[in-house]
Homo-oligomer: A and B are copies of this chain.
Amino acid sequence: MILALAGGVGGAKLAVGLAARLPPERLGIVVNTGDDFVHHGLSISPDLDTVMYWLAGINDAGRGWGVADETWAYMAALRQAGKADWFQIGDRDLATHEYRTRRLAQGDTLSQATRLLCERLGVGHAIVPMSDRPVATIVHTGEGALAFQDYFVRRQCEPAVTAIGFEGVENAAPSPGFAQAMADPDLEAVVICPSNPLLSIEPILSLPGVREWLRHRRVPAIAVSPLVGGKAIKGPAAKIFAELGLDVSAAGIARHYRGLIDCLVVDEVDAATVPSIEAEGMRAAVTRTVMRSAADRAALAGEVLDLAARLGAGADA
């Protein structure tokens, strides 16, 4: 069993590649829920939805978020009513939020609601929220503390970040599916997808027991760098790394994950960073990490899985 940790689009892309390589029973995808929020009375889980839409093959590839062939009657109605319209919700997307909101109101856990949504969309691989308890990513900036979507969407990541916190994380246990995967004797490897390390992966690692488990696991852990040539493919990772005084490079990613992973996969353009990655006490693997097509995604996933198998065999020897 391969356990993948993922945030939004970067994570979704590698998850799609892994799902193309592995049958459902051999893959578990644990997804960040620190970005979740309630908006117009709707329980919205942006990262879960992104991963789900990608795995269902209904994601809008052009926009990069939401559902393809989307219509916008709900947004038009919001605007007409003078309600907040800074967060885009398409009509097909709305159906997801409404279904989740109703199930949660009926007492279902987020894990249960997610499982039902995946069934509706024909997603066979397990997509699991990191926790069934609310965790709220708070972005501390020069303009004060901002709720995640406030920072990310309304303010377009403009304010300089001074710190990042995860409200409620100390009371949020890993979800049942996540707990089960961590304890699974058939676990073969952990894959940290190329999602934002500070905004998407850090909430998962901050759940009680998870960082300790990762530090002491007996199977290989591999991360794919979300920075390529010192830039993020998408999103504010590079900007935030710089604002926090971190090294904006694959080596900076290695430093961030030091002690938690055995190997960092970096892009060919970052081949020169290999010695500084190895200086952080881990291996480096160089390959093409930019995923523009289904073939790219499956190829990167295949390389990560081969790497995991080699590292696992090495550990046994």
State the A residues within 8 Å of B (CB): 109, 111-112, 131-133, 170-185, 207-210, 212-213, 215-216
Contacts and interface: CB of A to CB of B under 8 A. Distances in A.
A177 B209 CA distance: 8
Contacts of A182: 183, 209, 213
25 contacts: A109-B133, A112-B171, A131-B173, A132-B133, A132-B171, A170-B176, A172-B176, A173-B173, A173-B175, A173-B179, A176-B207, A176-B209, A177-B208, A179-B179, A179-B207, A180-B209, A180-B212, A181-B209, A183-B210, A183-B212, A183-B213, A183-B216, A184-B212, A185-B212, A185-B215
Nearest to A112: B171
A173 B132 contact: yes
Contact of A208 (B176, B208, B209): B176
Contact of A173 (B176, B184, B185): B176
Contact of A209 (B131, B171, B179, B210): B179
A182 to B, nearest CB: 6
A181 B172 CA distance: 14
A133 B112 CA distance: 13
Taking the full assembly, how many copies of this chain does it contain?
2
Chain A interface main SS type: helix
Given A133-B132, A179-B179, A171 B212 contact: no
The 9 closest A-B pairs by CB, nearest first: A183-B209, A176-B208, A179-B209, A183-B212, A183-B213, A180-B208, A180-B209, A173-B173, A173-B176
Contacts of A180: 208-209, 212
Contacts of A181: 209
Contact of A174 (B179, B185, B212, B215): B179
A174 B132 CA distance: 11
Contacts of A170: 176
A130 to B, nearest CB: 11
Of A109, A111, A178, A212, which is in contact with the most chain B CB atoms at under 10 Å from its CB?
Answer: A212
A280 B176 CA distance: 30
Nearest to A215: B185
Contacts of A178: 173
A176 B171 contact: yes
Contacts of A207: 176, 179
A33 B139 CA distance: 36
Contacts of A174: 173, 179
Contacts of A131: 173
A216 B219 CA distance: 13
Contacts of A215: 185
A13 B213 CA distance: 31
A210 B181 CA distance: 11
A185 to B, nearest CB: 5
